[in-house]
Amino acid sequence: MNPLVPEFLSDFVPTLIHLSYLLASVLFILGLKRLSSPATARSGNRLAALGMLIGVAVTLFNREIISFQYIIAGILIGAVIGAVLARRVKMTSMPELVSMFNGFGGIASALVASGEYFRIAPAVFATQELTALAVSLLVGTMTFTGSLVAFAKLRGIIGGAPVVYPGYKVVNTLVFVAFLVFTSLFFLDPGNTGLYLVLAGIALLIGLLLVLPIGGADMPVVISLLNSLTGLAASATGFVLHNHLLIVSGTLVGAAGLILTLIMCKAMNRPLFNVLFGSFGGNGVDTGLPGTAGGKTVKEVTPSDLAIMAAYARRVVIVPGYGLAVAQAQHAVREVADMLEARKVDVRYGIHPVAGRMPGHMNVLLAEANVPYPQLFDMDDINKELPKSDLVLVIGANDVVNPDARLNTSSPIYGMPILNVDQAQNVVIFKRSLNTGYAGIDNQLFYADNSYLFFGDAKKSLELLQESLKEL
């Protein structure tokens, strides 16, 4: 008997719980709907949080809940850790935090399904529950270890380079086959808790083996996919517990993650299969070593010349890449934009989907530097405007502006959607040196007639530009 519920209300409570779960599901959907615009997004997030609060609160009245000490302790510990992480995290470290949360969500779902299994075992589950249990265990657990590896790669704890060894694909396949074999054995003998633990162990291993061979540059895809998997794990746990709120919410998250995964794959022009099993993509670390121009010449621009070009332009488009964030130059670029706007220049930001370390990351970094969101344009929208733009400033980006992706069929990045900055009147590329980008490919843009290079650290270069603009 739940101590919170008086005797005479106990018949009414299950109805209340079901209706409240329905309300919570509706609030999640409405909350996600409001994320369709930055103006309503914050209220949407709060609606979703309200849905969560309702879902948790009414569950406490479930008649199966008879003691609260674990619940209170668990929620207190979790809330403190969650709040501290959310407050302390730097916006540049958002991919690490999301990875960590992906992992926590996955393991929580797997633990819930496992708890339900150990509650009922050795009594037997029906086949559909066993299937849901196996899915929840596999997906939740592999998401946990996979996310920990992704976290370690993003943090630089382990190198971003793919961790591969001869025959790793064979090993991965064998481990996956082993999971299927043990699952079949488990279905034949569902009361065997030892088999269940073996399955859990294999699932842990699968997460590790799946993410270790994936390069750091592919992390935006991996984070999105793991995000989708946490949702799927919650949904599978809903099938185990016969809980519709879990099924709806988990599936919504699964859909969100899957959409982002596909967007990231398209933006990198790589099929998902290729990302997961191709082990392409280095760690994307800019070594800063001067590269050779291969006999071709580039034109350099001085800060004062650039100041004149920018100040008398009608429209300037800024194309930021992750190098901008590495150089901590977001505020410097916004200050340049402010100075240009004061001179009635139309300033816009053109943001490639993989400009940051996770989907939408660059937008958050710029918003943090007080760039107004109406100036943030995505790839398709800014590409329409680029031929009508007088000047493009490419800062810390390389492969995503390489015209070879459009023009050179033999280029490894051919077919990748890019920002067509070469179609603008003039392009100035802020660069530390003439070395290549993530993909290790030379960029013809640097040698084009309308291109100029501005060598140096992005932040220092922008400060030089500010000084020159002041002198105008």
Partner 1 sequence: MDLLFVHLFIFVLAAFVGFEVISKVPPTLHTPLMSGANAISGITIVGALLVASHTGCVITCHLGFIAIIFATINVVGGFMVTDRMLEMFKKKGDE
Choice from 133, 154, 209, 252 touching partner 1 (CB under 8 A):
252
Q: Does 238 bind partner 1 (CB under 8 A)?
A: yes
Q: Does 1 bind partner 1 (CB under 8 A)?
A: no
Residues 392-431 that bind partner 1 (CB under 8 A): none
Choice from 176, 185, 251, 414 touching partner 1 (CB under 8 A):
251
DSSP state of 300: B
Biggest CA pair distance of the chain = 88
d(CA 300, CA 298): 6
Q: Does 82 bind partner 1 (CB under 8 A)?
A: yes
Q: Does 342 bind partner 1 (CB under 8 A)?
A: no
Q: How far is the CB of 179 from partner 1 (least distance, A)?
A: 21
Choice from 138, 210, 219, 223 touching partner 1 (CB under 8 A):
223
Residues annotated as catalytic are 399
Exposure string of 1-14, with b = 16+ CB inside 10 Å and e = fewer, is ebeebeeeeeeebe
Q: Does 334 bind partner 1 (CB under 8 A)?
A: no
Q: How far is the CB of 195 from partner 1 (least distance, A)?
A: 15
**Tokens 């429209």 sit at which residue?**
315
Q: Does 390 bind partner 1 (CB under 8 A)?
A: no
Q: Which CB sits closer to partner 1, 371 or 429?
A: 371
* CB neighbour list of residue 439: distance below 8 Å, 6 or more residues apart: 217, 281, 399, 412, 413
**Tokens 């609606």 sit at which residue?**
47
| Single-letter amino acid, residue 244 | H
Q: Tokens representing 419?
A: 């920002």
Q: Does 297 bind partner 1 (CB under 8 A)?
A: no
Nearest Cα neighbor of 209 from 148, 154, 159, 270 is 148
Q: How far is the CB of 227 from partner 1 (least distance, A)?
A: 5
Q: H or E element: which one contains 171? A: helix 168-188
Choice from 8, 11, 15, 70 touching partner 1 (CB under 8 A):
70
Q: Which CB sits closer to partner 1, 63 or 169?
A: 63
The string of DSSP letters for 434-453 reads S---TT----GGGGSTTEEE
Choice from 257, 281, 321, 396 touching partner 1 (CB under 8 A):
257
Q: How far is the CB of 109 from partner 1 (least distance, A)?
A: 4
| Single-letter amino acid, residue 232 | L
d(CA 415, CA 52): 42
Choice from 250, 281, 323, 417 touching partner 1 (CB under 8 A):
250
Choice from 9, 19, 75, 180 touching partner 1 (CB under 8 A):
75
Q: Which CB sits closer to partner 1, 66 or 289?
A: 66
Total residues at the site for partner 1 (CB under 8 A)?
112
Q: Does 373 bind partner 1 (CB under 8 A)?
A: yes
Q: Which CB sits closer to partner 1, 237 or 279?
A: 237
Binding segment toward partner 1, per CB under 8 A, in 182-190, 271-279, 354-362, 447-455: 354-362
Q: Which CB sits closer to partner 1, 113 or 202?
A: 113
Nearest Cα neighbor of 223 from 139, 306, 102 is 102
The string of DSSP letters for 88-153 reads H--GGGHHHHHHHHHHHHHHHHHHHHHHHHHHHTTSPPPHHHHHHHHHHHHHHHHHHHHHHHHHHH
Q: Does 441 bind partner 1 (CB under 8 A)?
A: no
Choice from 128, 173, 302, 433 touching partner 1 (CB under 8 A):
128
Residue 235: φ, ψ to 5°: -65, -45
The DSSP bridge pattern shows strands 315-320 and 346-351 to be parallel
Choice from 185, 364, 441, 448 touching partner 1 (CB under 8 A):
364
Rounded to 10 deg, the angle between the 361-368 and 94-120 helix axes is: 120
d(CA 433, CA 220): 26
Exposure string of 143-172, with b = 16+ CB inside 10 Å and e = fewer, is bbbbbbbbbbbbeeeeebbbbeeeebeeeb
d(CA 230, CA 232): 5
Site string for partner 1, 151-190 (x = CB under 8 A): ----------------------------------------
Q: How far is the CB of 333 from partner 1 (least distance, A)?
A: 16
Q: Does 87 bind partner 1 (CB under 8 A)?
A: yes
Q: How far is the CB of 320 from partner 1 (least distance, A)?
A: 13
User: Does residue 276 come out as left (phi exceeding 0), alpha (psi in the -120 to 50 range) or beta?
Assistant: alpha
Site string for partner 1, 8-47 (x = CB under 8 A): --------------------xx-xxx-xxxxx-xx-xxx-
Binding segment toward partner 1, per CB under 8 A, in 166-174, 257-265, 279-287, 442-450: 257-265
Choice from 233, 391, 405, 458 touching partner 1 (CB under 8 A):
233
